[in-house]
Amino acid sequence: MKSIFKTFSQIFVLFLFVQCKTETKLDKTISVENTVKYAKGFSIENYDGFSIVTVKNPWPKATKTYTYILKEKNGIVPDSLSQNPIISVPIQKIVVTSTTHIPSLEMLDEETRLIGFPNLDYISSEKVRTLIEQKKIKELGNNQSLNTEVILDLQPDVIIGYGIDNNNPTLDNLQKSGLKVMLNGDWNEETPLGKAEWIKFFGAIFGKQKKAEELFNKIETDYLKTIEIAKQATATPTVLAGDMFEDKWYLPRGTSWGSLLLKQANANYLWQETTGTGSLSLSFETVFEKAKNADIWLTSGQFSTLKEMTDTNPHYTQFDAFKNKNVYSFTRKRGKTGGVLYYELAPNRPDIVLKDLVKILHPELLVGYEPFFFEKLQ
């Protein structure tokens, strides 16, 4: 994802065993240009018979780059690349570990390749829930302590993992057992289109790079079109985000994914001048002083009604947005077992999220459009 990748086009000499070792240069004429435009955490380079996927920044402040070789049938991988994990593609059986991976499988029509997932109840996708009900996808426990016995029995072609730091002994042990693991850093991307572009990562392992490119191009086109629509707004409503959790109010930092979406929807997010990509942790008093007169309130996924909010904290009624019933949430759209669809699908479909926000903030600009994720709380 961001042009911090080492391009393997700089590998000049590869050794091939024919009758003896002979030197040959990696033929650049068979390399397909890397089309990753927004994502900073990965790149793809295609050669005759194999591709090189480079992953950087799988978690904040990561210092190591991870290189994976995707080998096609009858493809020949040069000796100089053989020290990297080599994965045969297209893969037939996959384990993924984040709900944000699910939409890419579904959009590529590859959800039936999924054979295992940790915390199955978190999955909202109707197609994947049907496969779960048919016992075609195994429960794997949780990410910090995956059921390695079940995974070893499943023998997936690849496990798509993620980490919050450089400490993931479960994935390390699975690799030592001979299984292939690829790290995915979609969650660590800073921009909406950067997150969505990780569908190309899945396109590469399923041998569907062209389809992934087409899917992303459609998302990108719709997203950029909506930005232009938002620019037509004659007002810029003030926005409060988040709510209290365990005595702290959590809301997006100013350079985060959520804050950027609000900015591009032509909103005045009250904490947009802060820096960082995570969450701010503030006291109720600090938030109230700044946001008591905010026009719109976008809550977290905690609440389904205004009453649930006041039952938790009666002081919420002091905000103008609450008094005027301009409080919105994405929590009501859930899967059969309670998983919140927004957490699964929104990072993959920023075009939909942006349309929702523009409709909430500037309803006159999207006549006839009904928000997909967000609902006004009653």
Q: Which of 100, 113, 38 is nearest to 339 (CA)?
A: 100
For the chain, residues classed under CATH 3.40.50.1980 are 8-219, 231-376
Burial of 28 (0-12, 13-18, 19+ CB in 10 A): exposed
CA end-to-end span of the chain: 41
pLDDT at site 32: 52
| Alpha-carbon span 312 to 307, nearest angstrom | 9
pLDDT at site 34: 61
Contact 269, 291 (CB under 8 A): no
Contact 346, 353 (CB under 8 A): yes
pLDDT at site 204: 97
Residue 372 φ/ψ, nearest 5 degrees:
-90, -45
Q: Which string of b and e fits 158-176 if b means at least 16 CB within 10 Å?
A: bbbbbbeeeebebbeebee
Enter the pTM of the model: 0.89
H helical segments located in 292-371: 306-312, 320-323, 341-345, 350-361
pLDDT at site 320: 97
Rg (CA), the chain: 23
Please report the DSSP string for 78-90 in residue order.
-GGGTTS-EEESS
| Alpha-carbon span 100 to 123, nearest angstrom | 9
Q: Which of 369, 354, 360, 36 is nearest to 223 (CA)?
A: 354
- What is 231-376's CATH number? 3.40.50.1980
Which residue ranges of the chain lie beneath pLDDT 50? 1-25, 28-31
User: pLDDT tens digits, residue range 162-173?
Assistant: 888 777 888 888
Domain 8-219 class in CATH: alpha beta
User: pLDDT tens digits, residue range 242-300?
Assistant: 999 989 999 999 989 999 999 999 999 999 999 887 889 999 999 999 999 999 999 98
pLDDT at site 11: 31
Q: Which of 94, 93, 45, 95 is nearest to 70 (CA)?
A: 45
Please report the DSSP string for 303-323 in residue order.
-SSHHHHHHH-GGGGGSHHHH
Q: Which of 12, 5, 9 is nearest to 32 (CA)?
A: 9
pLDDT at site 19: 30
